[in-house]
């Protein structure tokens, strides 16, 4: 299972990368705005931290403009993946960018049918948003399970990238389902690291060691 970090904060990305947790990065306009940096500058820097795929999202909503934007984004670095929102124009753009050899990540996917259409258009990755579905009392992980099943039924090569992750349980369930990738906020990666019994065990080992040394 590949882990991407869902962030445009280069300090967080470097920390996660130093811990061996970064196979790629996803950004979106909200995360880039939060970084307070220029889009081009931050994406180019992220692409020097990891050789893995780095998603950069288009802003246009018309197919030909998305393609133009995507072609320009792909020139920023070899590992840029063009993130395209799920919509009809987006599918035209995905088909065209794929034919040009440019990788795509179809974002804002909330149903199995959207994921099926994105795969048929040739998307490299598809991003089902689990947390935002959970927020409206729909089961985000159940949707991911069905997307994985449908892709397996028909041997689609599009990778399932679980997005809008809010908790370690989303990652555990994604791993059990067999999703290809999860993109994870750094805070959730930290939550996945800890266990109260690990903390207690470390303290106990240290205390017993010190007692034996007469400290």
The alpha carbon of 167 is separated from its chain's Cα centroid by a whole number of angstroms, namely: 14
131: burial class by Cβ within 10 Å (0-12, 13-18, 19+)? middle
∠ CA 74-78-84 to the nearest 5 degrees? 35
- Asked if 116 touches ligand E4P (CB under 6 A), the answer is no
- Asked if 35 touches ligand E4P (CB under 6 A), the answer is no
Question: Which of 22, 183, 186, 189 is close enough to bind ligand E4P by CB under 6 A?
Answer: 183
5: β partners: 25, 184
Clarify whether 83 is annotated catalytic: yes
* 2, 51, 83, 96: the active-site residue: 83
3-state helix, strand, coil in the chain (%, to 5): 55, 20, 30
CB of 121 to ligand E4P, least distance (A): 18
146-175 mask for ligand E4P (x: CB under 6 A)? -----------------xx-----------
Query: Which residues are near ligand E4P by CB under 6 A?
Result: 6, 26, 28, 107, 127, 129, 131-132, 163-164, 183
User: Catalytic residue numbers?
Assistant: 83
């Amino acid at each position: 299972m590949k882990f991407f970090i869902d962030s445009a904060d280069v300090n967080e990305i470097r920390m996660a990368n130093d811990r061996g947790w970064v196979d790629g990065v996803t950004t979106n306009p909200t995360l880039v705005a939060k970084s307070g940096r220029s889009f081009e500058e931050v994406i180019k820097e992220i692409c020097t931290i990891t050789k893995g795929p780095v998603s950069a999202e288009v802003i246009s909503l018309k197919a030909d403009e998305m393609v133009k934007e995507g072609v320009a984004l792909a020139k920023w670095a070899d590992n840029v993946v063009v993130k395209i929102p799920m919509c009809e124009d987006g599918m035209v753009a995905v088909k065209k960018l794929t034919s040009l050899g440019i990788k795509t990540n179809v974002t804002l996917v909330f149903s199995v049918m959207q994921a099926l259409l994105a795969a048929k258009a040739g998307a490299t990755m598809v991003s089902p948003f689990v947390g935002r579905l959970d927020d409206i009392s729909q089961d985000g992980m159940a949707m991911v399970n069905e997307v994985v099943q449908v892709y397996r039924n028909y041997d689609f090569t599009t990778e399932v990238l679980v997005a809008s992750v809010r908790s370690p349980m989303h990652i555990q369930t994604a791993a059990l389902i067999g999703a290809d990738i999860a993109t994870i906020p750094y805070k959730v990666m930290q939550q996945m690291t800890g266990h109260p019994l690990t903390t207690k065990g470390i303290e106990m080992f240290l205390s017993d060691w010190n007692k034996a040394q007469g400290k």
